[in-house]
Amino acid sequence: PPILEVKNVEKEYITHTSIFGKNNTFKAVNNVSFNVYEGETIGLVGESGCGKSTLGNAILQLDKATAGSIVYRGTDITQLATKEVRKLRKEIQLIFQDPYSSLNPRISVGNAILEPMKVHKLYKDDTERKEKVLELLERVGLDASHYNRYPHEFSGGQRQRIGIARTIALQPKLIICDESVSALDISVQAQVLNLLNELKENFGFTYIFISHDLAVVKYMSDQLIVMNKGKIEELGDADFIYSHPKSEYTYNL
Ligand code: ADP
Ligand code: ADP
């Protein structure tokens, strides 16, 4: 069975409420359905504003879908209580565009990676957690000596590596990468993408890879979803879609 089943999901934003109490709404995600299988990378591509992040946030339960169901390993996670959502946070993780915005400038990178492990009661004690953090730093291509340094001492690419270490510290199953390399220089992008692929090989992650950048999505994905104005325009095997382009978006290849 799929690890994730997205069924007829919609997200409607209220854009304006009139003095008579009537709501104007806008459907940012419109009747979207797809399955994600364990170990695959499914690319989500489309123009800026087509609803990719909204859909990602709905899967992460950062924002509630207004219709449809999202079934993760047999459970409709749109129906979970807050406490259960917190547990789910360990399983489904996000790597976003700018980890700088989530890294507290006053917390060392080592402690930033250790803290979520502690919250989720992973490992026996802080000594063991610290050992894991050092392993993780090396795993993402950073020196263990970086443990006591602070986010501002690192380049964009290094910060993204720190963000990745922090994300995988919880040993998630499904990782949503939302424009994870979009803010980086092209050469650094390639390094981070290769790291993501390497980690997937090692730990068996499943990725939903969101980007407006077709070249990047093409490099990463097994399956591909092309979105346009909140709807799915094309969905299927990435190689097939690239060789039989239907949408304006994939024509540009
Ligand atoms: P993408 O990730 O593809 O760039 P988004 O999911 O961020 O697109 O946005 C989809 C659409 O929803 C856009 O038109 C955006 O302006 C709109 N939108 C996003 N968030 C909100 C919000 N909180 N309230 C109203 N409209 C929103
Ligand atoms: P070992 O079997 O010696 O733990 P692994 O290669 O499986 O070797 O793991 C190496 C390190 O990565 C260990 O510290 C482990 O805790 C951590 N690790 C294992 N599985 C995952 C995972 N799914 N996500 C992130 N880190 C993991």
What's the whole-number average pLDDT of the chain? 92
Distance (Å) from CA 227 to ligand 1 centroid: 13
pLDDT reported for residue 250: 63
Lowest mean pLDDT among 20-24, 147-151, 162-166, 178-182: 20-24
The alpha carbon of 59 is separated from its chain's Cα centroid by a whole number of angstroms, namely 9
Q: Whose CA is nearest to atom 14 of ligand 1?
A: 49
- What would the two tokens of residue 73 be? 């390993």
Q: Is 48 in the pocket of ligand 1 (CB under 6 A)?
A: yes
Say which amino acid occupies 67.
Answer: A
Beta strands across the sheet bearing 41-45: 92-95, 174-178, 206-211, 41-45, 223-228, 231-237
Ligand 1 centroid–CA 54 distance in Å is 6
H or E segment to which residue 189 belongs: helix 186-203
Backbone angles phi, psi at 167, to 5 degrees: -65, -45
Q: Residue 235: phi, psi to the nearest 5?
A: -150, 130
C-alpha of residue 61 to centroid of ligand 2, in Å: 26
Distance of CA 14 from the midpoint of ligand 1 (Å) = 11
Q: What is the pLDDT of residue 246?
A: 74
Using CB atoms within 10 Å of the CB of residue 202, give its burial: 0 to 12 exposed, 13 to 18 middle, 19+ buried.
exposed
Alpha helices in 33-155 (DSSP H): 52-59, 82-91, 109-119, 126-139
Q: What is the pTM of this model?
A: 0.90
Nearest residue to 170 via CA among 109, 127, 116: 116
Taking only the tens place, the pLDDT of each residue in 60-117 is 999 999 999 999 999 999 999 999 998 898 999 999 887 777 788 999 999 999 999 9
Going by C-alpha positions, the residue among 93, 99, 12 that lies closest to residue 56 is: 93
Burial of 232 (0-12, 13-18, 19+ CB in 10 A): buried
Q: Are strands 41-45 and 206-211 parallel, antiparallel or unpaired?
A: parallel
pLDDT tens per residue, range 202-251: 999 999 999 999 889 989 999 999 999 999 999 999 888 887 777 666 65
> What ipTM, to 2 d.p.?
0.74
Mean pLDDT of 38-55: 96
Measured from the Cα of 203, ligand 2's closest atom is 23
Q: Is residue 217 within 8 Å of 45, Cβ to Cβ?
A: yes
Q: How far apart are CA 205 and CA 167, in angstroms?
A: 12
pLDDT band at 253 (very low <50, low <70, confident <90, very high): very low
Atom of ligand 1 nearest to the CA of 227: 3
pLDDT at 93: 94
Lowest average pLDDT, out of 2-6, 17-21, 144-148, 184-188, goes to 17-21
Q: What is the pLDDT of residue 177?
A: 97
